[in-house]
Amino acid sequence: MPKRSFFPSFFIFIILSVLFIFLSKTGILNGPASLIAKIASPIEKISFGFSSSTNKDNSIVAENKQLIKKLVDFQKMATENSALRDQFETTSPASQNLLPANVVSASSFIPGISSPEYLVIDKGKKDGIKTGMAVVFKDNLLGKITEISDSLSRVILVSNPSISFSAKTISIKGEPGASALGIISGMGGQDMILGNVLLSDTLAVGDYVTTKGDLQVDNAGFPPSIIIGKITSVEKKASDLFQRAKVKSLLDFSKLSTVFVVLSQ
Amino acid sequence: MREKIFPILFIILVTFLEITVTTLPLIIGTFILLTVVFRQNWIFVAAFLTGIIFDILTIRTIGTTSTFLVFMVFLIFLYQNKFEIQTIHFVFVSTTIASVLFLVFLGFSSVILQALLVGVVTTVLFGLLSFYLKSSL
């Protein structure tokens, strides 16, 4: 190849790429991009299906999740009843409007071994999804929508290091109704840290952590009482201002093929 | 045209793997390998189109990955004017550095480990390809 003959090709395609960035920002490319996404969606599903077909959830794990959900619901009801009796607060669990979506991609470092960094689902703006909406699976929090196109959305997982939000604990082993407030931060994989918990609050290994609820008027944010995970270890020092706990999600993010977007509470 | 069919199929396969299954920057390794082996202008077209498809299907600003890939191919072409690029050292170092930059650009974790792994895989593929091309001549 003669020297410098690649310069015209480089300039043409670098200018085209920059032009595409500007057009993409203006939204002109949404239509063609949506069409390409639709065409590629079946191929993506096949490709993702190959990697996840060997990782199907077994019945014991599914049953365990159901029992944990019942346990958390029971604890929640007990707390609510107690609160109602005392006339301090009343809550009425509202039905959630969930939109089922198929996972079309879940890229991870080593597929099947490491947890994915994010998920792409086959629902987008056209289906009423907005940035910030929560994504759940069997009452377990999965993450939130960060990017949307007309027919696809990207879900940042709850264990992603860039995510943090308020959470509360539900005591299973300790006194019923006791709960601690804190901030959940992602640690990668399936792990999270529940930090900023007052030393006077009780944290115990085996307690469940749920969302505190931070819904906004446009339904972006997390609804209350969605299970985030289970406390696996507690770090408490008398000299520190706060205590913290390591939390592990009950979901194996790499095994999910269908998830649910919380459209409204 | 026939000699381009296999590389194009390989690019398509790798692109879909990276979009759906793994965060390993396989696209980077593939384009460095193809640029070093073929040294032809069609790689700019392939880099541009691959970047566009990647951005659409991973819901990123369309054109950002294309810019990265086209610029990376350009740098390798520029480098070949002064130095020998068809060496194992060049393939390993350039793939690892480009992978680190690409993973940081995409905001992924385990950057060094993933970049080194892709560097090793690309270098092995380059070695095998060089051996095959030499023995077939």
Give the torsion through C-alpha atoms of B55, B61, B64, B69, to 10 deg: 0
Give the strand pairing for A97-105 and A140-148.
unpaired
Average of per-residue pLDDT across A245-251 = 92
The answer on pLDDT for A92 being more than 90 is no
Contact A13 B18 (CB under 8 A): no
How much is the pLDDT for B82? 82
Contacts of A132 (CB under 8 A, 6+ apart): A144, A145, A216, A218, A220, A221
Judging contacts by C-beta atoms under 8 Å, the chain B residues touching residue A40 are 53, 56-57
* Residue B110 clears pLDDT 70, i.e. is over it: yes
Specify the pLDDT at position A174.
63
pLDDT of res. A81 = 63
Rounded to a whole number of angstroms, the distance from the CA of A247 to the nearest CA of chain B is: 19
- Strand A153-157 relative to strand A242-248, pairing: unpaired
Give the distance from residue A118's alpha carbon to the nearest chain B alpha carbon, in angstroms: 10
Give the separation between CA A154 and CA A116, rounded to whole angstroms: 12
* Residues forming a β-bridge with A163: none
> What's the average model confidence in pLDDT over B14-20?
91
- Do residues A208 and A170 make contact, with C-beta atoms less than 8 angstroms apart? yes
pLDDT of residue B135: 80
Name the residue ranges covered by the structural domains of chain B.
Answer: 2-136
Could you give the C-alpha distances from A155 to A57, A134, A160, B86, in angstroms and in order?
21, 9, 10, 41
Q: Domains of chain A, with CATH numbers?
A: 54-159+253-264 (2.40.10.340), 164-248 (2.40.10.350)
CA–CA distance, B73 with B36 (Å, rounded to integer)? 9
Q: Model confidence at A83, in pLDDT bands (50, 70, 90)?
A: very low
Q: What's the confidence (pLDDT) of residue B74? A: 95
Interval A164-199: pLDDT, tens? 899 999 887 666 667 889 999 998 888 999 999 999
Q: Does B70 touch chain A (CB under 8 A)?
A: yes
What is the residue type of A222?
F
Tell me whether residue B4 is exposed, middle or buried, using C-beta atoms within 10 angstroms of its C-beta: 0 to 12, 13 to 18, 19 or more.
Answer: middle
Q: How far is CA B12 from the centre of its chain?
A: 12
Across the interface, of A9, A107, A120, the residue whose CB is closest to B44 is: A9
Whether residue B133 has pLDDT greater than 90: no
Minimal Cβ distance to A109: which of B16, B23, B60: B23
Which residue of chain A comes nearest to B110, CA vs CA? A109
Q: Do A120 and B58 touch (CB under 8 A)?
A: yes
What's the residue count for chain A? 265
Q: Chain A residue closest to B51 (CA)?
A: A17
Please state, in angstroms and rounded to a whole number, the distance separating the CA atoms of residues B64 and A29: 14
Q: How far apart are CA A157 and CA A146, in angstroms?
A: 10
What is the interface pTM, i.e. ipTM, of the complex?
Answer: 0.90
Mind telling me how many Å the CA of B56 is from chain A's nearest CA?
A: 6
Classify residue B125 by burial, with Cβ atoms within 10 Å: 0-12, 13-18, 19+. Answer: middle
Average pLDDT over residues B66-70: 96
